[in-house]
Amino acid sequence: MIIVLKQEAKTEDVARIEKTIEEKGLQVHVSKGENQTIMGLIGDTTKVDPESIEVDPAVEKVMHVSELYKLANRAFHPEDSVIDVGGVKIGGGHLAVIAGPCSVESKEQVIEIAKAAKAAGANLLRGGAFKPRTSPYAFQGMGSAGLDILVAAKEATGLPIVSELMDAEYLDEFIEKVDLIQIGARNMQNFDLLKKVGKATKKPILLKRGLSATFQEWIMSAEYIMASGNPNVILCERGVRTFESYTRNTLDLQAVPVIKELTHLPIIIDPSHAGGKWWLVNPMAKAAVAAGCDGLMIEVHNNPEKALCDGPQSLKPAKFEQLMKELKPIADAVGKEI
Ligand code: PEP
Ligand code: MN
């Protein structure tokens, strides 16, 4: 249920209504927009008689929210959420580009890529230290030592860092070292992990879409993090499984307008894991920006032929630089600052 207040409603009106609702054992989420204040009710709304709220002179209308997700729901927060990641804004009119290798392999590798990515205009650096690999025999990542390399690259370039957390055991370390904590596609429905992350920190979380997750399932996972106390969730579409096997996954660009319709959360696109081929990254990244996404995550490697993970989908720095140049006029056309 949401209560839309009249434009002239005052702080004391909000407090009065909030008190009435809380006395019935519900939680109230207040969203103050430029023109309107909205109160979102969470809990057993059968305890609230909409008519008794509607008679309040500060109330414009009371609406029922049928979706299972509340905090992520656009109805609860009509304006776009803008999330600050170590000083870089994502959402609203801000388009952020996250670039870097799939995996952290060495300090030299990460620093070289980070410098090239920054020079080309990237805003954040990515790198996997704990890798979710299909095979137990494949490179599993450098672990904590990899996180320290990312921290060194951040010191060298000033770029905030993004890395994937797979196990709550490392949560404190991630909170200390990483600016944007990634929950990967495979863990999107690891509800225990989502609850722990939401409870332990308000650091921004990048929640990737599960391999075959519906929009509703994906948004409900964001809701888990938000309901546990962390409102700073950024969604990332990274391709979904389809019958097609020529590409690694199929990029669902409809995710951009759908997520924007249903939620207020920023959505970024990862064309690297979607297509699995480096030459698909440029056209899909441009299409994503044209569709209105809030950011991109792009794998960049200085020596993709020798990469320990995901070389075939990684751009060389020169190709990344070229892409950044091509993105600028598209971002301008959709009113996004890159
Ligand atoms: C990654 O970003 O390195 C990754 C493993 O992505 P995903 O979870 O989307 O497969
Ligand atoms: Mn990868």
Domain of 45: which CATH number?
3.30.70.1140
Q: Which residue has the tokens 């799939």?
A: 102
- Tell me, yes or no, whether 110 and 192 share the same domain: yes
Q: CA angle, 278 as apex, 274 and 279 as ends, to 5°?
A: 100
Residue nearest to atom 4 of ligand 1 (CA): 184
Return phi, psi of residue 195, to 5°.
Answer: -65, -40
Residue-level pLDDT at 95: 97
- Ligand 1 within 6 A of CB of 257: no
Same domain assignment for residues 40 and 98: no
Tokens of 9: 């409603």
**78 alpha carbon, distance to own chain's centre:** 18
Rg (CA), the chain: 21
Please tell me the distance between residue 239's alpha carbon and the centre of ligand 2 in angstroms: 12
**C-alpha of 268 from chain center:** 6
Number of domains observed in the structure of the chain: 2
Exposed e or buried b per residue across 195-216, where buried means at least 16 C-beta atoms within 10 angstroms of its C-beta: bbbbebbebbbbbbbbeebebe
User: Are residues 287 and 225 part of one domain?
Assistant: yes
Which of 63, 94, 116 corresponds to the end of one domain? 63
99 with 24, same domain?
A: no
Confidence check: pLDDT of 214 > 90: yes
pLDDT, tens only, 120-147: 999 999 999 999 999 999 999 999 999 9
| Same domain assignment for residues 110 and 27 | no
Pocket of ligand 1 contains residue 301 by CB under 6 Å: no
| Whole-prediction pTM | 0.97
Ligand 1 pocket check for 208: Cβ under 6 Å = yes
124 and 202 inside one domain: yes
Q: 320-337 pLDDT, tens per residue?
A: 999 999 999 999 999 999
CB atoms closer than 10 angstroms to residue 138:
11
| CA terminus-to-terminus distance, the chain | 37
Q: Is the dihedral of CA 172, 174, 180, 183 positive or negative?
A: negative
**Within a domain: residue 297?**
yes
CATH code assigned at 163: 3.20.20.70
Domain enclosing residue 239, as ranges: 83-333
Pairwise CA distance, residues 148 & 155, whole Å = 11
Q: Is residue 59 located within the same domain as residue 87?
A: no
Mutate to test the pocket of ligand 1, among 238, 251, 296 (most ligand atoms within 8 A of CB): 238
Please check whether residues 151 and 232 belong to one and the same domain: yes
**Ligand 1 binding pocket includes 231 (Cβ within 6 Å):** no
Residue 73 belongs to some domain of the structure: no
Which residue among 15, 33, 63 closes a domain?
63
Nearest to 228 by CA among 200, 189, 263: 200
Ligand nearest to the CA of 309: 2
